[in-house]
Amino acid sequence: MEAAALSRLIESIYDCAIDPALWSSTLDEIAAALDSPAGTLAVSDFVTGTERALVYTGISEHYQALYREQYHICDLFGHPLILRPVDEPSTSEELVAEDELLQSRIYREWAAPQGFRYVLLTALIKSQARLAYIGLTRGEEGGPYDAEEQARMALLAPHVRRAITIADLIEHKSLERDNLTATLDALTVSVLVLGPDARLIYSNAAGEAALAREDLLLARLGAIEPWDRTASPAFRTLITATAGGAATLARRGGGRAVVSALPLNTGRRRSAAPGPARVALFVQDNPCGPHAIELLGRAYGLTGAELRVLLGLAEDATPKEIAERYGIAASTVRTHIKSLFAKTGARRQKDLVKLLLSTPPINLKPL
């Protein structure tokens, strides 16, 4: 992908942060850049056990409804995706064994009828409450996603993640120049809008309170800088980057916060921002750590398939019922159970469930 085209696509991604209606066309651009006829930007809610597509392309309303109502509970990719690092694209071959995928319900009944065969999935946000991800797919004729395409998606993923995070903070509202200040004022998260030379031109109430504490960012002669002078170079890079970014800064007295930067002087954002505005900073306490399922998987070196079976057992499902839910062979489920015994040292299925329940907080609803 040429540098100019990549730059334009990244600009389009950040424009989505202030105008969610642009996500549809932007996802089309991302899919086209990866030679994919279909894709989705979605969130799995661990609390409710539901799946919500923020936007999708190349998937009919009929099949989207089928996935939401029937097939998301038997999707093979959710559990292995939890174990993958954020912003690291993974192919279907890396996430699920080919024989298991091809015999699964979701492939035979949902993907294959649409002509889908290969998948490229990237986790964007992982927390105790949800998993946000972007997924692209194509047919047999397109072949598997290769390393160059994974690298291309890896360049885009951090920008998609930041745009989603900022859009989430402003409650996915479309920001126009006349309602920008009113919307930011209503946020409980700290927001600072900077002009040239890091000059503060606006802060909402939460931002003013944060500056008054002087434990993260300071206002010096009208300019914003981190209290920790060693972080100054990284902070200057953050606020001057044309493609936005994020940095984790230390608080005075302990703790950390994530500062996300949304450039305001390019693209659609230019029309929404006050004249001298250059960048908006959104300050959040460091996001909560990995979900307990991920911690458990890491601790015992479990695969996504093994996690899937373990959670099924915790729901009091039999190996046969787990096999029927996902449309895989019962022998495959028994193989995963044997592997769980070997990796955890458990001797009975009840011991496996006890192990899972001893790792709070954890939600047992299928992804």
How far apart are the C-alpha atoms of 132 and 330, rounded to whole Å? 30
Mean pLDDT of 15-20: 82
pLDDT at residue 288, rounded to an integer: 52
What is the pLDDT, as a whole number, of residue 359?
A: 63
| 342 contact partners, CB below 8 Å, separation of at least 6 | none
Domains defined along the chain, listed by start? 3-169 (3.30.450.80), 180-285 (3.30.450.20), 292-357 (1.10.10.10)
Tens of pLDDT, residue by residue over 61-79, are 999 999 988 998 899 998 8
Q: Which position has the token pair 């608080």?
A: 251
CB atoms near residue 179 (< 10 Å): 12
Listing from the earlier edge strand, what are the strands of the sheet with 279-285?
200-203, 190-194, 279-285, 256-263, 245-250
- Average pLDDT estimate for 195-207: 88
Residue 85 has pLDDT above 80, yes or no: yes
Mean pLDDT of 209-233: 93
State the pTM of this model: 0.75
pLDDT of residue 287: 56
Give how far Cα 186 sits from Cα of 20, 138, 190, 284, Å.
18, 42, 10, 15
Q: Name residues whose C-beta falls within 8 Å of residue 204's C-beta, 6 or more positions apart in sequence.
A: 184, 185, 186, 187, 190, 191
The chain-wide mean pLDDT, for the chain, equals 85
- Bigger pLDDT: 346 or 49? 346
d(CA 32, CA 29): 5
Query: Can you give the C-alpha Rg of the chain in angstroms?
Result: 22
